[in-house]
Chain A
Amino acid sequence: MKLKELTEKCGLETVNGFADENKEIAGAYSSDLLSDVIANAKKDFVWITLQTHLNIIAVAALKELAAIIIVNNKEIDKDTLQKAEEEKVTLLRTGLNTFQISGKIYECGIH
């Protein structure tokens, strides 16, 4: 499934537009420990987290993730947004919590 289609199906908010809306999603990973994401997320995954710290952008860039999905409608710091622009990392957001959005994404066929 392409990133844009997932965004529409799950009702995700686009925070900074798409770096590549046609990116084919390879999988998903839910975690709030960045060390764990570095160890376990894979290229072209979407990453579901409540962390909004600047370092999430570096982790997404390092792991070449398709997008970061911020849960619980968390406010995102200015410096995080700015870094996302620089690194061309797509930020998406939802009012759902990690469990709920993970279930929705799973239902979309991403396992």
Chain B
Amino acid sequence: MKIKADIHIHTCLSPCADILISPKRIVEKAFNTDLNMIFITDHNSLNNAEAAIKAARYYPSLAVYPGMEITSREEVHILGLFGNMADALSTEEVITTYLPDAVSDSEYREQIIANEFDEVEGFCLKSLFNAVNIKTEDIIKLIHNNNGIAAAAHIDRPSFSIISQLGFIPDDIGFDALEISPNLDIEKAKEKYPEYLGKYKFLRGSDSHSLNWIGSVYTEFEGKNNTFGEFAQYLIS
């Protein structure tokens, strides 16, 4: 069957996301828009990933996996996608040590930690929108060392993309895939970036910051059990 996967969804933990985009509502919306697989990818943190995974237990057709959108030293956004919480947490542990504390009440109040019942558990006290002082290549290695998939986020965006920040994608940088923003489709991406064709798969992610974006775009691939392993297999196929 065709698996519909959204590899890039923020929750109310991300300071730039809508307050209503809670883990529980994301799961409901993803189910209602016929997605089969989603990755929860807040900025530099996993605090709301497990709540979404727990909220999804009533929806067997939907697999929810943890991830992060990590900001490198060069301010490149990198999606780290994981098959389980343990691998994701090992990555987050390193990332967190590089993040400064939130500087004000108003800053951390934008970083809401919610549980699977749509209740506020607290706030993240780290400054999540900051860059992590690790170079792009080493963040990719960190993700790989923890069995994760590393994808360049929204490569066509004029800010925080590998191309905006570094001009082009270095040959041996190690990405497993490139994500394009909802502004492009795969065909247009192939026309726009012929130099990366054949070397990388292009993936679509919604980069949802608000509930109504969920389901607007997704990556489609052939699979049977919508597992992380199948997704990883698709990337190397």
Chain A bound to chain B: yes
Give A residues with C-beta under 8 Å from B: 33-38, 51, 53-55, 58-59, 77
Nearest-CB residue, chain B, relative to A39: B167
B168 at the interface (CB under 8 A from A): yes
Is A55 in contact with B167, judged by CB distance below 8 angstroms? yes
Is A33 in contact with B168, judged by CB distance below 8 angstroms? no
Chain A residues near B166 (CB-CB < 8 A): 34, 51, 53, 55
Is A55 in contact with B170, judged by CB distance below 8 angstroms? yes
Q: A53-B135, A53-B166 are in contact. List 9 more A-B contacts (CB 8 A).
A: A35-B163, A35-B164, A38-B167, A51-B166, A53-B74, A55-B166, A58-B167, A58-B168, A58-B170
Chain B residues near A59 (CB-CB < 8 A): 167
Chain B 133-152 interface 0/1 with A at a Cβ cutoff of 8 Å (1 = within) = 00110000000000000000
By secondary structure, the B interface counts as loop
Q: A53-B74, A55-B170 are in contact. Are A34 and B165 (CB under 8 A)?
A: yes
Return A29 CB to nearest CB of chain B, in Å. 14
Chain A residues near B158 (CB-CB < 8 A): 35
Determine the distance from Cα of A33 to Cα of B135 in the docked complex, in whole angstroms.
Answer: 15
- Total number of residue pairs linking A and B with CB closer than 8 Å: 33
From residue 156 to 194 of chain B, which have CB atoms closer than 8 A to chain A? 158, 163-168, 170
Chain B residues near A53 (CB-CB < 8 A): 73-74, 135-136, 166
Determine the distance from Cα of A15 to Cα of B147 in the docked complex, in whole angstroms.
Answer: 38
Is B164 in contact with A51, judged by CB distance below 8 angstroms? no
Is B170 in contact with A35, judged by CB distance below 8 angstroms? no
From residue 100 to 156 of chain B, which have CB atoms closer than 8 A to chain A? 135-136
Nearest-CB residue, chain B, relative to A59: B167
Is B165 in contact with A77, judged by CB distance below 8 angstroms? no
Q: A51-B74, A53-B74 are in contact. Are A77 and B167 (CB under 8 A)?
A: no
Chain A residues near B170 (CB-CB < 8 A): 54-55, 58
Determine the distance from Cα of A35 to Cα of B161 in the docked complex, in whole angstroms.
Answer: 10
Question: What are 28 A-B pairs with beta-carbon distances under 8 A?
Answer: A33-B164, A33-B165, A34-B164, A34-B165, A34-B167, A35-B158, A35-B163, A35-B164, A35-B165, A35-B167, A36-B164, A37-B167, A38-B167, A51-B74, A51-B166, A53-B73, A53-B74, A53-B135, A53-B136, A53-B166, A54-B170, A55-B166, A55-B168, A55-B170, A58-B167, A58-B168, A59-B167, A77-B135
Chain A residues near B135 (CB-CB < 8 A): 53, 77
Chain A residues near B167 (CB-CB < 8 A): 34-35, 37-38, 55, 58-59
Return A58 CB to nearest CB of chain B, in Å. 7
Chain B residues near A36 (CB-CB < 8 A): 164
Chain A residues near B165 (CB-CB < 8 A): 33-35, 51
Chain B residues near A58 (CB-CB < 8 A): 167-168, 170
Chain A residues near B136 (CB-CB < 8 A): 53
